[in-house]
Amino acid sequence: MSAKRTLHEGWTVTGDPGAPVAVDAIPASVPGEVVADLLAAGLTGDPYVDEAERDLAWVGRHDWTYRTSFAYEAGDWDGIDLVFDGLDTVARISLNGTVIGETANMHRRYRFNVRERIRQGANELEVHFTAPYTYAEAQRDRLGDRPNAYPEPGNFIRKAACNFGWDWGPNLAGAGIWRPVRLECWKTARIAEVIPRVDVADGRGILDLAVRLDKAAETDLELVCTVEGRGQVARVPAGTDTAEIRFEVEDPELWWPRGYGSQRLYAVSVDLVSRPDVLDSWRWRIGFRTVELDTEPDGHGRPYQLKVNGAPIWVKGANWIPDDVLPSRVGADRYARRLSQAAAANINCIRVWGGGIYESDDFYALCDRLGLLVMQDFLFACAAYPEEEPFWSEVEEEARDNLVRLAPHPSLVTWTGNNENLWGWHDWDWQGDLGERTWGAGYYHDLLPKLVAEVDGTRPYWPGSPYSGTRELHPNEQAHASVHIWDVWNDLDYTRYRDWKPRFVAEFGYQAPPTWATVRRMVSDEPLEAASPAMLWHQKAASGQEKLQRGLDAHLPPVRDFDDWLYFTQVNQARAIRLGIEYFRSLQPYCSGAIMWQLNDCWPVTSWAAIDGEERLKPLWYALRDVFAERLVTFQPEGDGLNMVVVNDSAETWAGVIGFWKCNAEGRIIGRALVQMEIDPRDTAVLELEPGAIPKDGEFLMTGREDFPRATWFTKEDKDMDWPKARFTTEVAAIDGGVAVTVHAESVLRDLCLFADRLDSDAVVDKALITLVPGEQVTFTVQSEAIAASPELQRALTAKPVLRAVND
């Protein structure tokens, strides 16, 4: 028998007396963060708007105390535990004036036995947080400074690194009880952990359940375990607290990533029984599948090929950062919206980046159901980390806890030791600064692989992202395993992605500002300009605006106003990532995946995201949906020639005829060609074009049949192309919940977009970045009740700045 009760009501938070803002017992949300409490109490402005983030810099340098009271009715319990699923970060917990425990790790769960401290009736619970800067700076002073990509002490505290600011995020390092807290009462024994280890062999699904109990009495107990209702009973005799139970399922339905099969999940239960009572229970849904990471050297270097159920998977991925700087605001509904957007963009893999958090079970359960693979970093990013105590023990407990917690999820397929730290040690001038000081190598090469093998044993581990497979090689060697490509964004034109020939790309990205509605939420600058103060405050990347301008100068006509700048930078972002992914896909199977940086934002900001901080889709999202489609046609240069590469990532043979046009700048068709092709499932074909089919100066190629993916090739950049001014007619028709806008092209229309969020911030459009030649048409579907009800707004849909083409 057990009883579990959340303790989320009646909390207050108080600041220390030295804080610049007096905070005395204001209402506090639990789960929550102190920054959100200050905002709710009206003691600060919204840190997401203008430069208000500056006004909260003091929060992470002061202590905070949370208090509540709760009633307890005494019972005949053997165990009474106070359980915290997440404390951020350095906390002292007191019950009725007595300290019951201390914590120093945001990334793990804590359980405290309070049986001797709790009392009948009212109980007073206090959680005192030491300022994260106070703790981190003290550890830094004690152990000696270590390199960090940012001038912050975040590598000296087990707290999300991005809390201290990143090149896409604000510094809102605060404190809080950020995940649920509850009181758990139990009799005789409880289930401490269940680790399901899954395999498939010889047509049988194998499930090994490793169960560990907390016992208050030495007595015989039973575990009643079921898989889809089929049960087994295992004895846990007195003197033992563990048990292993094996299930074998004949010919199971396998769990597959999206695009490769269904996501069959099997219900599993474990009941702890002392006849006739059920003392505790555990419930989950697991998937039968195998996962391998092939990194055996071949004649070209070292692959990084993920295989699920023996099938090679071409990884179509996006990097994931925390979806809000205040993570308690992200619940199951928001995860569902974000991950559904990822799936709708034909993404099949999410890499959870090492500078954030281990996400909640809701996140991974949604990935299980959606068939989204998860590549999970351990939480180290872009810095040298001390290995001395207390950090070694904290990292060990953190890793164990999360390996156990996330083991049931079939979507989780790899563990990676860190983000860019091996690269940093090699290339970022760390070695001279470090001397003999530790920097994290012991974690990545020794502790973490040992724990993954011991606790999990079913998933591959890789020491770092990037990492080439051996310490003797440069960690970002493109012919060996996983690479990050950042020279393009930082220094080069995006066409230089074609200078690489990677085996697997785990990070690459290109920036753009967010959507118009989000820009207007994040800044109130008047006049609104690319370089206005608040716009610059919401650009955290070093020389970010200059890099955006470099891209504009290389590709697009001069901007005339902010509307041009916003549209052109978003087009450039989408083109850059599309070019990179098309090229990487053209290399398959030599290249086995591309994970773009990044899917999401944690606040409104100019960044690499495809979905902005207000959950709106940037043009990049639409480009991802096209370029990650199962079937892709792309033109790729080869020496002085041009190839058409056809990628068939579907389970069916792709047979038929590709028709494509050669056009002049006016859009007049000056040549046609047909290519007969038959591409096997999960295969790629390279078709060399005849010299006469290759466009000359000022011409372009375009696939012409509606039932084939559209591909284009331009001989000049838009800034140099002699495009005619955009000419078109439009029609607007009512549909259920919105309107349909049909555009009839009378000239070339290059990267046509309809930005309905300028008229209704909640409007959603079904497509973007459409290139048409004269005589073609496209219909945009706009979901918006407000626009549907307003003839004035409908008229505004058909003109600038809402309807845009590069040559308008």
Active site residues: 420
Say which DSSP state 22 is in: -
Find the largest Cα–Cα distance for the chain.
90
Q: Extract the tokens encoding 350.
A: 């999410």
Distance CA 709, CA 557 (A): 27
Contact 466, 354 (CB under 8 A): no
Nearest to residue 632, comparing CAs of 647, 650, 622?
647
Residues 6+ apart with CB under 8 A from 382: 148, 149, 150, 161, 355, 419, 420, 421, 424
Cα atoms in the 13 Å half-sphere on the side-chain side of 120: 3
In order of 74, 177, 182, 643, 653, the CA distances from 80 in angstroms are 10, 20, 11, 69, 61
Cis check: omega of the bond before 276, within 30 degrees of 0: yes
Tokens of 458: 């079913």
SS3 per-residue string spanning 656-673: EEEEEEEECCCCCEEEEE
User: Are β-strands 461-462 and 482-485 bridged in parallel, bridged antiparallel, or unpaired?
Assistant: unpaired
Question: Which helix (DSSP H) or strand (DSSP E) does residue 786 occupy?
Answer: helix 785-788
| Tokens 């693979």 sit on residue | 373
Residue 752 near residue 570, CB atoms below 8 Å: no
DSSP code per residue over 274-335: ETTEEEEEEEEEE----EEEE---BTTBB--EEEETTEE--EEEEEE--SSSSGGG--HHHH
The 3-state DSSP class for residue 336 equals: helix
* Amino acid letter, 756: A
Sorted by sequence, the CB contacts under 8 Å of residue 151 that are 6+ apart come out as none
Nearest-angstrom CA–CA distance, 69 and 97:
12
Phi, psi of 250 (to 5 degrees): -70, 135
CB within 8 Å of 141: residues ≥ 6 apart: none
In this structure, the strands spanning 121-129 and 181-186 are: unpaired
Cβ count near 571 (within 10 Å):
27
Look at residue 92 and give its three-state secondary structure: strand
What tokens were used for 802?
A: 């809402």
| Nearest-angstrom CA–CA distance, 664 and 700 | 6
- Per the structure block, which two tokens stand in for 586? 């053209």
Instruction: Round to whole Å and give the CA distance between 61 and 366.
Output: 36
Q: Name the residue type at position 34.
A: V
Within 10 angstroms of residue 640's Cβ, the number of other Cβ atoms is: 7
- Among residues 254, 178, 158, 194, the alpha carbon closest in space to that of 11 is found at 178
**CA distances (Å), 640 to each of 636, 671, 689, in order?**
11, 20, 11
Q: Would strands 593-596 and 315-320 be described as parallel, antiparallel, or unpaired?
A: parallel
